[in-house]
Amino acid sequence: MPRIVVDAMGSDDHPTPDVQGSVDAARAYGVEIILVGDEAKIGPALAAASPGRLPIRIVHAPEMLTMEDKGEDLAFKARHKDAKNSMAVGMDLVKKGEADAFVTAGNTGAAMVTALFRLGRIRGVERPGLAPIFPTASGFCVVLDIGANPDCKPENLLQFAILGSVYAEKVRGVKHPKVGLVSNGEEEGKGNELVKAATPLLKQAKINYFGNVEGKEVIGGSVDVAVTDGFTGNVMLKSSEAVAKMLVDKIRETIKGGSLLTKIGGLLVKPALGSIKKVLDPSEQGAAPLLGINGLVFIGHGRSNAFAIQNAIRVANDAVEANVIGAMKSAIEENLKG
Amino acid sequence: MPRIVVDAMGSDDHPTPDVQGSVDAARAYGVEIILVGDEAKIGPALAAASPGRLPIRIVHAPEMLTMEDKGEDLAFKARHKDAKNSMAVGMDLVKKGEADAFVTAGNTGAAMVTALFRLGRIRGVERPGLAPIFPTASGFCVVLDIGANPDCKPENLLQFAILGSVYAEKVRGVKHPKVGLVSNGEEEGKGNELVKAATPLLKQAKINYFGNVEGKEVIGGSVDVAVTDGFTGNVMLKSSEAVAKMLVDKIRETIKGGSLLTKIGGLLVKPALGSIKKVLDPSEQGAAPLLGINGLVFIGHGRSNAFAIQNAIRVANDAVEANVIGAMKSAIEENLKG
């Protein structure tokens, strides 16, 4: 039975959504849950979530990392041997082999730094990449990096391509995932210096390389993995979310401000629009894997609710069962050999 | 009366949309139109568009630049003293003071290179930026650069900020336009090397600098101008368009595949959804100015229809009447003085 560590101090409203989502996941997917964080706070939340006899236990971690933790101070807390914050304690359980994956809805930067110090990187990976799932016209696309590395080297993009490809294949079940390189034009030769330098590396890699992609290929579903530097990926993600939100808001406003017939129409299409909102809902995916770390780490949004946490645990469970870390290690090694 | 040169060989379906849009614009806005291109093709199209006594004349240019023109070959055609292509001939009219602005729906790269060679840059501007209008929750945002310069220096972003600010103020009528710097986080200090290096320059500039912005600020309408390198801007634009398209398609599909009641609801909300489509329709804006060129150049989409061309001419006319080139020169000079 996969053992998933959940940072009970992660979400903005911790520990309630984190604990409730854990209970729901234990019930739904048959996973064992280890809740890390302040026992005094987790205890009552767990009791309130009616865990029954589900395999859920608490590991006490009196401290927590917050949005205030950055720079030197964060590095100290992330690396300290006897760190008592929930991220460090939780990841140590994975490191020691007492758990299989770590899930948090806490500070992304803190989780990344802690993961780097405590779990380290897969051999041959210079920088881990944060890899959320974008909804597309035909399904989904794994996009990385979306924020861990604002400035990248061509080699980083190559490593992202390999990691993303393995993830799409093993965890998302795509055969020979098509890997695209995000650029300002689909034709080869279009791109900034980074894209131009990365292109020959991606062409030589043992992946199903598709070529340059624009938004229409990524969102249109032409590729299964889209590789980019963390700055561009982050801007892409945030803009896409903002456009989707604006559209949904505008539709709602227009119907609300419309004629009586429009309002009636609005009521009739409401369920249909609801199913679209579901496609766009980040809590459906729950959390993004931090690929390249030598251990499974999933980072969710601070605004995660119980459903998002449950989904994050589902995805973590899938990754454990697929032994994706082993597969990523082999793929990176194979590509290093050339 | 402003005199607008229109590249009649610009759009994918040239010359019909280009000519029809010109006639419509001459009628709607009281501008004089000079159609450049192959006279033998423009003549019949113009006759078919019933120009009556509108002030429209044709200047013959037997050649045209296409998507095939690139690199050395393009540079030669763009710079040659006796170039006979419609872009060169049209821009020369602006250069000689025989026209006030140039509008094309042709190859963006060709238009940029031709503009650089024939009209040159405003003194103090190193690279011109292509600056389309993004629809936002509360109106619009001028975003630049979206493709002219995939790799930028911090000074380029400073110049884009000044140019975009003047354009938003003079042409779009925004008082003290708020200028944001696109980044992977709104907090100061977030960003790639380029953003970090540009920040102090933007802070010192004589603009209403807002700080870092993400998609939610740009699309949400927090700023009037968003500055970024051409690679990121292009990815942002293409992703935003793709997400909007996916959503509209999914709504249509879901309603079409829904129950009878859903379909009836769909019919009732159709007009309301139409008004949203209008917000997202690039032809409403018609064309994007190439800011930093010493002359007014507007570049529209190849798929422009007559309505898009008409709107492009409207925007060009607004820019002429606002004397935006003069204002940009002063603003750049003032900022150069420090």
The tens digit of pLDDT for each residue in A2-35 reads 999 999 999 999 999 999 999 999 999 999 999 9
- pLDDT for B280 equals 73
CB B312 within 8 A of CB B104: no
- Calpha distance B212→B199 (Å, rounded): 8
In this structure, are residues A230 and B184 in contact, taking their beta carbons and an 8 Å threshold? yes
Angle between helices A16-29 and A39-48 (to 10 degrees): 50
ipTM of the complex: 0.91
Q: Please give, rounded to a whole number of angstroms, the shortest distance from the CA of B177 to a CA of chain A.
A: 21
Q: Which of B150, B220, B265 is opposite residue A265, by nearest beta carbon?
A: B265
Considering only CB atoms, A251 lies closest to which of B243, B258, B273, namely: B273
Partner-chain contact A215 B250, CB within 8 Å: no
Six token digits for residue B333 = 């000079």
Asked whether the beta carbons of residue B242 and residue A219 sit closer than 8 angstroms, the reply is: yes
Distance CA B22, CA B103 (A): 10
Contact A228 B235 (CB under 8 A): yes
Provide the pLDDT for residue A285: 77
> Mean of the per-residue pLDDT values for chain A?
93
Of A137, A150, A255, the CB nearest to B184: A150
**pLDDT score of B107 more than 80:** yes
- Please provide residue B9's backbone torsions phi and psi, each rounded to the nearest 5 degrees: -105, 20
pLDDT band at A338 (very low <50, low <70, confident <90, very high): low
Please report residues of B whose CB lies closer than 8 A to that of A140.
none
Q: How much is the pLDDT for B260?
A: 87
- Mean pLDDT, to the nearest integer, of A200-211? 96
Higher pLDDT pick, B111 / A252: B111
The answer to whether the pTM exceeds 0.80 is yes
The answer to whether the Cβ–Cβ distance between B271 and A255 falls below 8 Å is no
Half-sphere exposure of A247 (CA within 13 A, CB side): 28
User: Taking the CB of residue B30, how many other CB atoms lie within 10 A of it?
Assistant: 12
Residue A190: list chain B partners with CB under 8 A. Answer: 150
CB contact under 8 A, B235 and A238: no
In this prediction, residue B100 carries a pLDDT of: 98
Mean pLDDT on B157-162: 98
Nearest CA in chain B to A231: B184
Q: What is the pLDDT of residue B259?
A: 85
Name chain A contacts of B242, Cβ cutoff 8 Å. 214-216, 218-220, 240
pLDDT at A131: 96
A43, pLDDT greater than 90: yes
Q: Please name each of the domains of chain A with its CATH number.
A: 3-129+285-322 (3.40.718.10), 133-282 (3.40.718.10)
Compute the average pLDDT of residues A103-107: 95
Q: Who has greater pLDDT, B271 or B168?
A: B168
* pLDDT score, position A214: 95
Q: What is the pLDDT of residue A226?
A: 98
User: What is the structure's pLDDT at A194?
Assistant: 97
Are A241 and B215 a contacting pair at CB < 8 A?
yes
Q: How confident is the model at residue B338 (pLDDT cuts 50, 70, 90)?
A: low
